[in-house]
């Protein structure tokens, strides 16, 4: 346990013992100020249990009538200590943890983490082409499902339940594909350091083509429902305003930054997994508001469909894991009667015929592989912005430190700038346009 004593702000010694101020810091000042002023100004806690706060986000609003004069976000309710836990598992087991961070973008978490591990190992160039194509394919599917949730829940919070029904209907199509390809609807741990856990199953390509066709038909429905709707526009236009200077200062990335007109997208700026070879556009608008972010998400889904189509066309047979047997998991996974597991052929081989293979399997599974000391920072363009991973190795079989720069965490800081001076009802619209996922914010 640490011996350093830096007491958090707001500590009082009383006869009953130490009393900690639950809000702390600059809140004392704010509360004292509010207590002095007239009765019209009140501080309202919105959340942590509130349907429109995307999980357990606590919004602390000082309101004067219907106007929000100060807004702060209280986070941490979904902290699960994933970064700490990673330091006690092997590098491969890490994917199982990181996929649970922002649970709406599991493939981005896995890909960013694995790219970091691969850079530390120095095997970035050895990842097979097919693995990269499938990574891109899964990430773009994931972009669609994440944006669909953003639009669906955003619509629901406005009272547009049809948008919600449509969004979750289409997301279900994506989740069916995940289930077909990885076996799971979320928490996949499918992208592994060095490649993928396994190849995509037969029938996946047909299902993907069918999906593209269906989504091409369904996407215009959002346009028909929302884009031109006067009610929808009245609620979203000029709400959650954050201009380019604000975005840059607050480090906002993703649709928020692009809604301020800057076409910054890591897929174009710092391509990874071969994004430079795909044909797609980075849409921007210059409205700086929630409506612009809605339009961007719709357009990005169309662009993602284009990329998915190109991925399907260039899927060539080949390996999906690096050739280096010191890194690649030795067991080909296979579907058994009790679910996915080590293939029976492999078990038969290591248990019956090759003792060296058994030793190798045992060592790699229990000990894992060693990663040379050093640090790396890899970033991917997640649906919410720059998802960066800082990985540090001390040359051991476990990560020494993994830090996720989750875009939701950073973007959520801009909530105050977007909401102060607006109406209480618009706070919900602004937060929905940030699209924070508390699993990623709190990790």
Q: Which is nearer to another protein, 200 or 391 (CB)?
A: 391
- Say whether residue 374 binds another protein (CB under 8 A): yes
CB of 440 to another protein, least distance (A): 12
- Say whether residue 209 binds another protein (CB under 8 A): no
CB of 240 to another protein, least distance (A): 18
Q: Which residues pair with 13 in a beta bridge?
A: 18
**Is 320 in contact with 131 (CB distance < 8 Å)?**
yes
Among 46, 144, 376, 380, binds another protein (CB under 8 A): 376
CB of 214 to another protein, least distance (A): 36
Among candidates 131, 138, 223, which has minimal Cα distance to 175? 138
**Dist CA 137 CA 199 (whole Å):** 13
Hey, which residues between 413 and 442 contact another protein (CB under 8 A)? Answer: 413, 442
Binding window for another protein (CB under 8 A); candidates: 299-307, 316-324, 333-341, 393-401:
393-401
Q: Which is nearer to another protein, 251 or 330 (CB)?
A: 251
**Dist CA 88 CA 81 (whole Å):** 12
**Dist CA 248 CA 252 (whole Å):** 6
Binding window for another protein (CB under 8 A); candidates: 95-103, 178-186, 385-393, 425-433:
385-393
Report in angstroms the alpha-carbon separations of 65 from 62, 135, 386.
Answer: 10, 50, 37
Report in angstroms the alpha-carbon separations of 15 from 5, 6, 18, 19.
Answer: 21, 22, 8, 10
Among 37, 44, 64, 122, binds another protein (CB under 8 A): 122
Mask for 267-306, x = binds another protein (CB under 8 A): --xx------------------------------------
Q: Which residues pair with 64 in a beta bridge?
A: 41, 67
CB of 131 to another protein, least distance (A): 20
Mask for 66-95, x = binds another protein (CB under 8 A): ---------xx--x-x-xxx-xxx------
How many residues line the site for another protein (CB under 8 A)?
65
- Say whether residue 384 binds another protein (CB under 8 A): no
- Say whether residue 112 binds another protein (CB under 8 A): no
Among candidates 219, 334, 242, which has minimal Cα distance to 293? 242
Hey, which residues between 10 and 39 contact another protein (CB under 8 A)? Answer: 10, 18, 20-26
Q: Which residues pair with 71 in a beta bridge?
A: 61
**Dist CA 41 CA 35 (whole Å):** 9
Give the distance from CA 437 to its chain's centroid.
7
Hey, which residues between 239 and 258 contact another protein (CB under 8 A)? Answer: 248-253
- Say whether residue 326 binds another protein (CB under 8 A): no
Q: Which residues pair with 63 in a beta bridge?
A: 42, 68
- Say whether residue 103 binds another protein (CB under 8 A): no
Among 332, 394, 421, 425, binds another protein (CB under 8 A): 394
> Tokens 């639009």 belong to which residue?
151
Phi–psi pair at 82, nearest 5 degrees:
-65, -40
Report in angstroms the alpha-carbon separations of 382 from 109, 149, 303, 395, 419.
Answer: 8, 14, 14, 29, 24
**Dist CA 62 CA 72 (whole Å):** 9
- Residues of the shown chain interacting with another protein in the complex, contacts defined by CB under 8 A: 1-2, 4, 6, 8-10, 18, 20-26, 75-76, 79, 81, 83-85, 87-89, 119-120, 122, 248-253, 262, 264, 269-270, 367, 372-377, 379, 386, 388, 390, 392, 394-398, 400-401, 403, 405, 409-410, 412-413, 442-443
């Amino acid at each position: 346990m640490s011996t350093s004593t830096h007491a958090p702000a707001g500590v009082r010694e009383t006869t009953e013992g130490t009393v900690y101020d639950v809000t702390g810091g600059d809140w004392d000042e704010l509360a004292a100020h509010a207590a002095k002023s007239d009765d019209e100004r009140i501080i309202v806690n919105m959340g942590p249990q509130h349907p429109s706060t995307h999980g357990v986000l606590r919004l602390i609003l000082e309101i004067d009538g219907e106007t929000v004069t100060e807004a702060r976000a209280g986070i941490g309710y979904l902290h699960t200590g994933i970064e700490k836990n990673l330091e006690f598992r092997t590098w491969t087991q890490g994917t199982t943890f990181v996929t649970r961070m922002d649970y709406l973008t599991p493939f981005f978490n896995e890909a960013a983490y694995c790219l970091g591990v691969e850079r530390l190992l120095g095997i970035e160039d050895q990842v097979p082409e097919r693995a990269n194509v499938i990574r891109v394919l899964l990430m773009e599917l994931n972009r669609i499902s994440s944006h669909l949730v953003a639009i669906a829940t955003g619509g629901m919070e406005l009272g547009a339940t049809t948008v919600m029904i449509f969004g979750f209907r289409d997301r279900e199509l994506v989740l069916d594909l995940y289930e077909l390809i990885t076996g799971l609807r979320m928490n996949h741990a499918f992208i592994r350091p060095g490649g993928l856990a396994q190849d995509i199953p037969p029938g996946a390509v047909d299902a993907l083509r069918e999906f593209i066709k269906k989504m091409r038909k369904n996407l215009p429905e959002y346009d028909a429902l929302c884009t031109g709707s006067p009610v929808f526009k009245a609620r979203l236009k000029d709400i959650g305003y954050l201009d380019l200077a604000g975005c840059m200062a607050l480090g906002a990335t993703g649709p928020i930054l692009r809604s301020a007109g800057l076409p910054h997208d890591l897929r174009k700026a710092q391509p990874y997994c071969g994004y430079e070879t795909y044909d797609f556009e980075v849409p921007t608008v210059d409205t700086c508001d929630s409506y612009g972010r809605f339009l961007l998400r719709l357009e990005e889904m169309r662009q993602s469909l284009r990329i998915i189509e190109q991925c399907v066309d260039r899927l060539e047979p080949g390996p999906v894991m690096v050739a280096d047997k010191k890194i690649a998991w030795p067991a080909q996974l296979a579907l058994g009667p009790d679910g996915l597991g080590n293939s029976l052929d492999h078990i038969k081989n290591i248990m019956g015929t090759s003792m060296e293979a058994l030793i190798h399997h045992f060592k790699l599974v229990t000990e894992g592989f060693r990663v040379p000391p050093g640090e790396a920072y890899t970033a991917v363009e997640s649906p919410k912005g720059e998802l960066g991973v800082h990985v540090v190795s001390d040359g051991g079989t476990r990560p020494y430190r993994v830090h996720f720069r989750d875009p939701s965490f950073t973007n959520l800081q801009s909530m105050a700038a977007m909401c102060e001076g607006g109406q209480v009802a618009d706070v919900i619209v602004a937060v929905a346009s940030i699209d924070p996922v508390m699993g990623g914010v709190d990790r």
